[in-house]
Amino acid sequence: MPSETRLGFPNLGLGVGLRHVHFSHILETWPNVDWFEIISENFMDSQGRPRDILDQVAERYPVVMHGVSLSIGSTDPLNHDYLLKLKKLAGEINAVWVSDHVCWTGVAGKNSHDLLPIPFNEESLSHIVQRIKTVQEVLERPLVLENPSSYITFQDSTMSEWEFISRMSEEADCGLLLDVNNVYVSAYNHEFDPYEFLQSLPHERVVQFHLAGHLNCGTHCIDTHDGRVIDEVWALYKKAHELTGGVSTLLEWDANIPSFDEMHAEVLKARDFLAEKEVEELNTSDQTATDQTNSVPHPINYYVGSEAE
């Protein structure tokens, strides 16, 4: 499976997110999955069961750390305590790489726990490039950043998202996590051509793909991570695969999480799509919203709570 490397990173194959509802299944069966991605914040402070399970998983599978609280685009100072914890965990579980999002999560000391969009202009570009460099110095490894789904754009933007991301990755010398579902969602919401997005990226910097399901509300799409990947997103994936030569691919499923096997089967469809085989249960259209007001973007899978006897 591993082929060429990007920023020194291998192609890990087809992986899934490590989610607590699957912990027991994973420990009992050690499923034949290529690799796991974790939400860094769900484990970096754990001194209990989640961390113990992560240690066992990391002994057997490649693990990639995907964070949601770096807030690389925020105008607040970087949180060095957070960065050091990130670095410590990455060292302890031998994380293959560390990623987060091209976004900000809060300002003035607050955290919205959402992936908020930044305006794409020269000020935000030089700000984010500077901060990526600092983070890479602290972590002593390249940072990999993902394009988030977004629901608004700013009049303050002076360039497209793909131009911003391309320049950002070149100037900061970082990797890219290309979420093809997010490209679809943002393209739908902001009425741009998703293929132009894919075409314009520096393909040699793409380290990883994300795939996920979303909700189409008609007027806009919401990145819910709660279902299957739709055909249009598989088509974008195929194009991205062509353009990059193929990189590590991960399915995100964070709400209404099915059984481990069902989730794993969804990412394995990638092989069929790339081989242009007929795939059973093709989704010919998006999930259709019945009640838009209750739909919440689910970019963040969190694990709180405890088990007590």
Partner 1 sequence: MNEQTSRSLQSLQTWLQSVITHPNGVSAGILGAQDHITLTPEEIESVVPASSQLDSISKIEVYGNAYYARLIECLGEEFPAVKHALGADTFDSFAFSYLHQFSSTSYTLSDLGRQFPSFLEQTKPSDAGELGWADFLIDLARLEWHYSEIFNGPGTEKIEALTSENLQSLTPEQFTMCRLVPAPCLRLDEFRFPIHEYATAVRKKHESPPLPAPTLTRLVMTRRQYVVRRVAVSEAEYCILQELVNCTDESIGSILDRAAEHWGNEMQEHLQEWFERWAAAGYFVGLESLTR
Residues contributing to the site for partner 1 (CB under 8 A)? 41, 44-50, 52, 69, 74-75, 79, 82, 104, 106-114, 116, 118-119, 121-124, 127, 151-160, 189-191, 218-220, 222, 293-294, 296-298, 300, 302, 304-309
Nearer to partner 1, 27 or 282 (CB): 27
189: its two tokens: 């919401």
Q: State the DSSP code for 9.
A: B
Which strands sit side by side in the sheet containing 287-288, from one edge to the other? 221-222, 215-216, 287-288
Residue 101 makes contact with Fe ion by CB under 5 A: no
CB of 100 to Fe ion, least distance (A): 11
CB of 306 to partner 1, least distance (A): 3
Give the integer Cα–Cα distance in Å for 117 and 10.
29
The dihedrals phi and psi of 36, each to the nearest 5 degrees, come to -120, 150
Rule CB under 5 A: which of 167-196 touch Fe ion? 179
CB of 38 to partner 1, least distance (A): 14
Which of Fe ion, partner 1, none has residue 210 at its interface (CB below 5 to 8 Å by kind)? Fe ion
Rule CB under 5 A: which of 210-249 touch Fe ion? 210
CB of 174 to partner 1, least distance (A): 19
Nearer to partner 1, 86 or 240 (CB): 86
47: its two tokens: 């001194």
Which of Fe ion, partner 1, none has residue 179 at its interface (CB below 5 to 8 Å by kind)? Fe ion
Interhelix angle 231-244/260-274, nearest 10 degrees = 60
Q: Give the CA radius of gyration of the chain.
A: 18
122: its two tokens: 């020269």
- In three-state secondary structure terms, 176 is strand
Residues contacting residue 309 through CB under 8 Å, at least 6 positions apart: none
Nearer to partner 1, 3 or 110 (CB): 110
CB of 67 to partner 1, least distance (A): 9
Q: Let me know: does 72 contact 145? Beta carbons within 8 Å.
A: yes
Give the integer Cα–Cα distance in Å for 65 and 55.
13
Give the integer Cα–Cα distance in Å for 286 and 171.
37
Which of Fe ion, partner 1, none has residue 41 at its interface (CB below 5 to 8 Å by kind)? partner 1
Nearer to Fe ion, 124 or 186 (CB): 186
CB of 191 to partner 1, least distance (A): 6
What residues make contact with Fe ion under the rule CB under 5 A? 179, 210
